[in-house]
Structure 1
Amino acid sequence: MSLPSLEKLAYAVDEEGDHPGGGHCAGLGGGVPEEDRRAMVEQYSAALDVLVDSALATGDGWSLSRPILFTTHHLCELALNLVLERTRLKGKQHTLATQMMAAVDGNALDHLTGEEQQWCQEFITAIVPITGNGFPGRYAQAAVEGVQLDELWCCVSPEAVRDAAITFAALCLTEPQEIESV
């Protein structure tokens, strides 16, 4: 077996010139934390889109179902962290329901219409049991409150999950002045 080189896994920031074997920028590029948080939400939105498109293109959604659920959970977590940090509320918790409650109680989503706020709350209520707070997407035997994901759900709809999660993230990314000017 020919093993791949480990020399080209990544390139240090101070390495100048062309990087043999190509590469993609790993930096978020933001000059301020808010820009970095937005970039992370955008990257996970793109990753979820790629995973779902791949599952649909191959016809083998099963092989990507757990990565799709984990990416969905993490995207929502990053989006909620963004709105919580923007309003100087505490973020960085893995429990989406707790983060959403903090966002609602702290008026972090007040820039959205009442209908959008209600939809966001309903989305988080619906997605939490599907993603199991991200654990079933990361660990094979993970259980939430003693129940494994396999015991709750037969199938997930990758397109529906993606579309709702990306819409949720987009609403979280939207800043108050962007809504008012539309």
Structure 2
Amino acid sequence: MYGMVNEGIRTFILDNHGSEAWRTICAKAGVDELEFERMSSYDDTITYNLVGAICDYTGLAARDVLCVFGKYWIEFAGASTFGTLMRLSGESFVDQLKGLDDMHDRILLSMPHLKPPSFEVDQVSKDTCLLHYYSDRDGLAPMVEGLLHGLAAKTGERIEVRQVTPKSDTSDHDVFEIRLLDR
């Protein structure tokens, strides 16, 4: 996993629960590093263990932890170079959504070992689209749902999101139906 994701998790916990909570979560997750290099790669197990430890610490289900973190991620990443790359795609929610793969392609230029997800957008109507989310990693669909809500909030738009197809033995990716409200 990209180090910036783990660093985002760390910052989220510090901002919302404090440094003692972060140390407790790291100990529970078996993670020695209390900080992460943003531009480095880490084993995915570290991230999954952190999420599990956060679940134990907060009493929340993994789905809820990932969804809340996904929304937070937009602010966290938006304060970095990613924010500039996202804004290059356009000002609207749908424009930025359509630009996610381009942003990941730009990141791959400096981090060729990164395995980012891929996103495809199908416009169904003027206020509805389908987002196809492809990833080698399992279980992160709730984070994507949070990302979508965070991105909509960042662009000043309101959305409803419904996962219509989960990744499974019969589908190689997740599909979300996104309805833009107030249009």
Q: TM-score range by the shorter chain?
A: 0.3 to 0.5
More contact order relative to length (CA 8 Å, sep ≥ 6): 1
Higher normalized helix content (fraction of residues):
1
TM-score w.r.t. the length of structure 1 is: 0.34
TM-score w.r.t. the length of structure 2 is: 0.33
Larger radius of gyration: 1
